[in-house]
């Protein structure tokens, strides 16, 4: 398979599986640039911890992952009377992977995603739709960061 230029993602050249290396990453508390703490940051952190170490195996925490997250809501659908009927949620996360042995930043990046929800007559259903949209965006950010870290550790 190496003749085609592709390399297996789940095993590295040194024989250690990528999953073992991912399990050594400690996800620090995710910071929301707009607030101190929010439910979407908790979802991002918990999902990422589960993706990096699904078996919850005790690890040496050789790396620290710091993440800043931003969620913004944008008016999308407008009626003739200027009532908003649809919103976009834009989510961005900037991450920094730090090797703790020498306190050096070894990987950094930014990921973003977008989800949307409809405004309904019921304020409660609109609130629930917004929360679901935020949760979906957080989960997508966690998946994207996980994939980028898998790529880093498979090199």
Report the number of distinct structural domains present in the chain: 1
The structure tokens 């040496």 sit at: 60
Q: What percentage of residues in the chain have a pLDDT greater than 90?
A: 62
Residue 53 predicted with pLDDT over 70: yes
**Do 76 and 87 meet the contact criterion of CB atoms below 8 Å apart?**
yes
CA distances from 111 to 61, 68, 117, 155 (A): 23, 11, 21, 20
- Residue 72 in domain: yes
What's the domain range around 54? 16-154
Least confident of 32-36, 43-47, 87-91: 32-36
Indicate which CATH number applies to the domain containing 68: 3.30.160.150
3 part of a folded domain: no
CA atoms within 13 A on the CB side of 143: 7
Q: Is residue 1 part of a domain?
A: no
pTM over 0.75: yes
Kindly report which listed range (9-18, 49-58, 111-120) carries the lowest average pLDDT score.
9-18
């Amino acid at each position: 398979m190496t003749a085609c230029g592709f390399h297996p993602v789940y095993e590295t050249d040194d024989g250690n599986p990528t999953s073992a290396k991912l399990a050594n990453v400690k996800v620090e508390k995710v910071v929301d640039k707009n607030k101190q703490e929010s439910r979407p940051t908790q979802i991002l952190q918990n999902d990422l911890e589960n993706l990096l170490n699904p078996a919850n195996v005790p690890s040496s925490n050789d790396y620290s992952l710091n993440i800043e997250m931003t969620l913004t809501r944008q008016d999308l659908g407008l009626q003739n009377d200027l009532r908003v009927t649809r919103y976009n949620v834009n989510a961005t996360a900037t991450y920094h992977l730090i090797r703790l042995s020498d306190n050096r930043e070894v990987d950094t990046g930014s990921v973003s995603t977008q989800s949307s929800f409809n405004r309904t007559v019921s304020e409660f259903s609109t609130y629930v739709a917004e929360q679901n949209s935020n949760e979906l965006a957080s989960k997508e950010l966690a998946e994207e960061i996980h994939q980028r870290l898998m790529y880093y550790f498979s090199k």
